[in-house]
Structures are given as structure tokens and as C-alpha cells.
Amino acid sequence: MPYENRVSLPGSKREPLRGATRVKPVQTDETISVTVVLRRRHAEPFVAAVPTQRKFSSREEFRVIHGADPADLNALDRFAHEHGLTVAGCHRGSRSVILSGTAEAIQSAFSVDLGVYENNGISYRGRVGNITIPSELAPSIVAVLGLDDRPVAKPHSRGVRPHAAASSFTPPKLAELYNFPTGVTGTGQTIGIVELGGGYRAKDLAAYFKGLDLKTPDVSAVSIDNGKNHPGTDADGEVMLDIEVASAVANGAKIVVYFAPNTDQGFHDAIAAAVHDKVHQPSVISISWGGPENTWTQQALDAMNSAFEDAAALGVTITVAAGDDGATDGSQDGSLQVDFPSSSPYVLSCGGTKVAAESGTISSEQVWNELANQEGATGGGVSRIFALPQDQSGSGVPAHPDTNFVGRGVPDVSGDADPVTGYSVRVDGQDTVIGGTSAVAPLWAGLIALLNQQAGHPLGFVNPLLYQIGESAFRNIVTGDNGHYHAGATWDACTGLGSPDGKALSAALTTALGGGAAAAATAS
């Protein structure tokens, strides 16, 4: 008989949230949907290290070559039918299959015991231990996400301050201070933004951009796993910050916001949907949510990292906030942690600085660290999970102090993040100031959109380009620390290569790309 022999799904082990108590089992007739992430059909997608040798795949080409194997999809369909589950959605390109059924059927299919857990006012559906799957399916399944629906990430914004704060900046002013390219507005580019809560109001956007004497951007919302544009919660500040910063910097770009639930399933599905979106075709995606590496299951890390690798092959740049809790990333045990998804080797990790300006120029810039005032500090450090990528091999990334593992160094780049020198934005009808590395990810997304337009093609996975260029095109930050790591003359685990000198970076990229020789690179 098929499906009799079962094995544990590697990396699927779950423990309850610290302090959480199981209060009851789930109701057997409750409807549950999970996302099953499958392996690629063929070899891993390849992104040439030499920029002039790059040719990005179209989304359709990628779907056919690297999408899910039809045989794997058929086998999963038979498994679903055997257990009374419905295939509620299937995306071959992102290798994502949504299975839906009663809690009773879902628990039987994956040999899990689901219960309702509570902790400090948080209630979630959870499980303990491993997921098991039929041995016949084991080679093809990467992850099963959504059985446990605990919140997995938090927004990396900090320190709402009065609008009158004299030390704050509008995004266009920061773009000017950072010498962003002029004569381009991001026209022809689409910036995708992933949000796990909150929402925006069109009237707020209209008022904000009128105040900046800029056109109101073209913003649209995409619902993922029933996530919605739902303003009226604390997460509105994150959503509005992301849209307003990216749009003010690249005012000609279109903005698409992917709203999803704050679960491992929702986060993965939003990233996968944005990366493989054939309708809106974002060339840049900004993410300002995350959590310490040690709070994720390995299967979730693998599934999301695989989606970021897809983006690299498709010519999509991903900018991600490095976190706002210093070198521990707010870990409950106080250990040195970096934030995921910022620690993925396929994203541009964005750390934070504190900026002061006089007479229209930056007079000082140092590592953002307001831990003494309980107002956060830039994330940064060394991954415990992801190996040192080739592009960082000459950057002097240190071994992790606790494990001696030389992993992926975080961040890659930086920008203004201190709430003391934060961003003037509008949220829920109020003008205010917000800081955090949440602002740096959309700042860099806007800059990448400008550089894409200037180059005439997507830059895509920019990390190898930036590390090839080195610190010469950046404002090197040499002062400050994030609670453990210190700034230095070269790459460091507080501000990476440094904050941008936009025009110097544009010139260096032109040289690195052979003066436009790579303009034949394609993306869709």
C-alpha cells in the first residue's frame, strides 16, 4: 500500500513559544490550509559571478526549467486525494502547492497533533515535534508551512517621535544628502513591498506627497493567503513608512504591496508571490519584517531562502531590514543573533546609522545605537545558519564568537535609521517621525529602482557587484557599535560596506557592468 512508510521532514521540529501553554486541541472540523513547498525540477538556478556574463531568466522560462516537476505535483495530488484534502492552489514556478482540509484530515496527513496555545495574550495554533510525510514524497518536499500559525516576524521600525523633531529628514532630503542620482525617477520600475499586517489609506498618501510637492504614487495591493490592506492597527506605521520612503525616493516607480498573515506560511507565500508575479513584475522587493534566526524552523529558512535564490536568477533585487535590536536581535536568551530574512545570502541586508547634517551636507554619521535609551540599535553580526557567500570572501567577516562558524555577514549596506534622526512620514492622518532599519530597506529599494532605470536593465542580485566595487562608492562608517560589533575602516557587522554615495555608486556600477555591456541582460 502507498504512503504506509513515513519519515520525519528534516528541519520541521517545533517547540512551543517560551511560556506558552496548550489550552485545548483544535476543533476537528476547523478548515486549515497549508503550503507545501517542493524541490526544483532541475539543477539550482545559476547567477554568474561576472556581471557582464549574466542573463536573467524570464518568469516563464524559470517556471518551465526550475519550477516544480510535474511528476512531483502529481504525486502530491494523489497524496492529497488519499487523505481527503483539496488542492486549493498550485504555482509551478514557485513550487508552492496549497492543500486545504479539515483539521482532522490535515493532522492525519502529516501525523501532527495540533492544539491551541496561549502566551501573554497571544493565541495561536501550534504543534510540537516533527512533521512526518510518506517516504515516497520525502525527496520532493522542502517544507510544509502553516500547520503552526504563530507570529514569526515583527516590523523593524522604531521610535515614533513628534513631527516637529528638528533632527528628522524627509526621504527626498536624505536622497539628496546621500547623493542619489538625479535625472531619473524610477520610471518603468515596480517596487514590491511585503507586509505582514497593517495597511495604508489613499488620502494619507495624497496628502503626504502633496506636502513634498511630488505626484501621488501608483500604489496597488495584492492579497496573499487572505491578507488584506487593513489600516487601523499598530502596523500601519510600517506600511506607510515603506511606501512613503520608497515612493519619495523613486517617485516614478509603481508600488505593489503584498499583504499576508504574519505566519511562516504567509511570509513565504508573500515573498514567492512577489518574486514570481507575472502581472506586476517587480524589479525590486523591499522587506522590513523579520526575526532572530533561532526562532525559525530550518524548513521555513530553506523555503524562503529558495525563493530569494529564485529572485537572483530572475533579476530581482531584494532589500531587507537588518533588525533594530542590536547584536542580539532581541533574542530571548540574549545570545548573539542575526535577523532572518536579512541573513539570507541572496538579499541585500540593510543596517542603520545616525546622521547629522549641516548646510545641506552630512556633517557626521555613525552606527545607530540608542540601546542606552531603549530606542534600539542596528542589527548585525554573523549568521549561525548560512555559510559565508563567495561575494563576502574577501571582506574579513569574523567567525561567530559563540560557534566559531564563519557565516554570512550582516549587513551589506546601511543608511539613516536612528529614530532621533528619523524619517518624516504621515500615518493614519498624523505627521510623525519614524526610524529603524525598516526605513533603510525601502530607501535602498528606491535607490536600486533609480539605478535600474539609469542602467536600462535590472541590476538584479547586486551583492557580488557591490562587494566587487568595495567601500570606494560608499560613505564608510568608522564610529560606533551595535552592542557587540564595532565599526571599522572596511566591511563591518554594524553598517556593512557603509551608507550610499549614490552618484559614485552609479559610476562604479557602470564600470563594473562594462559601460553598459550587460544591457542585454533580460528579466520579466
Side-chain-side CA neighbours of residue 333 (13 Å):
9
Per residue in 406-452, pLDDT tens?
999 999 999 999 998 999 999 999 999 999 999 999 999 999 999 99
For residue 279, is pLDDT > 80?
Answer: yes
167 confidence band (pLDDT: 50, 70, 90): confident
Mean pLDDT calculated for residue range 272-299: 98
Q: What is the pLDDT of residue 51?
A: 60
Is 514 or 7 the better-scoring residue by pLDDT?
7
Per residue in 339-386, pLDDT tens?
999 999 999 999 999 999 999 999 999 999 999 988 899 999 999 999
Q: What is the pLDDT of residue 77?
A: 97
Residue 242 a catalytic site member: yes
For residue 516, is pLDDT > 80?
Answer: no
Q: What is the pLDDT of residue 52?
A: 62
Catalytic residue of the set 72, 195, 242, 325: 242
Residue 30 a catalytic site member: no
C-alpha dihedral, 441 to 192 to 55 to 322, nearest 10° = 20
CA-to-CA distance for 203 and 40, rounded, in angstroms?
A: 43
56 confidence band (pLDDT: 50, 70, 90): confident
Q: Per residue in 152-171, is it b (16+ CB within 10 Å) or e — as a string? A: bbbbbbbbbbeeebeebbbb
Mean pLDDT calculated for residue range 265-277: 98
Catalytic residue of the set 140, 424, 438, 499: 438
Mean pLDDT calculated for residue range 282-306: 97
Distance of CA 114 to the CA centre of its chain: 28
Edge-first strand listing for the sheet containing 289-292: 154-155, 289-292, 339-340
Q: Are 339 and 366 spatial neighbours (Cβ–Cβ below 8 Å)?
A: no
C-alpha dihedral, 46 to 48 to 52 to 53, nearest 10° = -60
400 confidence band (pLDDT: 50, 70, 90): very high
Give percent of the chain above pLDDT 90: 87
Q: Are 294 and 335 spatial neighbours (Cβ–Cβ below 8 Å)?
A: yes
Residue 72 a catalytic site member: no
Angle, vertex CA 467, rays to CA 466 and CA 471, nearest 5: 85
Per residue in 176-192, pLDDT tens?
999 999 999 999 999 99
Mean pLDDT calculated for residue range 143-171: 83
Instruction: Give the helix, strand, coil percentages of the chain, each rounded to 5.
Output: 30, 25, 45
Q: What is the pLDDT of residue 514?
A: 78
CA-to-CA distance for 120 and 295, rounded, in angstroms?
A: 17
What are the backbone dihedrals phi and psi of residue 109, each rounded to the nearest 5 degrees, phi first? -65, -35
For residue 387, is pLDDT > 60?
Answer: yes
CA-to-CA distance for 223 and 341, rounded, in angstroms?
A: 21
Q: Are 245 and 284 spatial neighbours (Cβ–Cβ below 8 Å)?
A: no
Q: Are 431 and 162 spatial neighbours (Cβ–Cβ below 8 Å)?
A: no
- What are the chain's domains? 6-145 (no CATH), 154-512 (3.40.50.200)
pTM: 0.96
Q: Which grid coordinates belong to 456?
A: 536600462
CA-to-CA distance for 208 and 202, rounded, in angstroms?
A: 10
CA-to-CA distance for 42 and 36, rounded, in angstroms?
A: 18
Average pLDDT over the chain, rounded to whole?
93
CA-to-CA distance for 457 and 258, rounded, in angstroms?
A: 24
Residue 140 per-residue DSSP state: T
Per residue in 195-226, pLDDT tens?
999 999 999 999 999 999 999 999 999 999 99
Q: Which grid coordinates belong to 358?
A: 549641516
For residue 163, is pLDDT > 70?
Answer: no
Other C-beta atoms closer than 10 Å to the C-beta of 126 total 24
Catalytic residue of the set 149, 225, 238, 329: 238
For residue 133, is pLDDT > 50?
Answer: yes
For residue 124, is pLDDT > 70?
Answer: yes
CA-to-CA distance for 161 and 169, rounded, in angstroms?
A: 12
18 confidence band (pLDDT: 50, 70, 90): confident
- Beta strand 190-195 pairing with 474-475: unpaired
**Residue for cell digits 574579513?**
396
Q: Are 114 and 102 spatial neighbours (Cβ–Cβ below 8 Å)?
A: no
DSSP-assigned beta bridge partners for residue 201: none
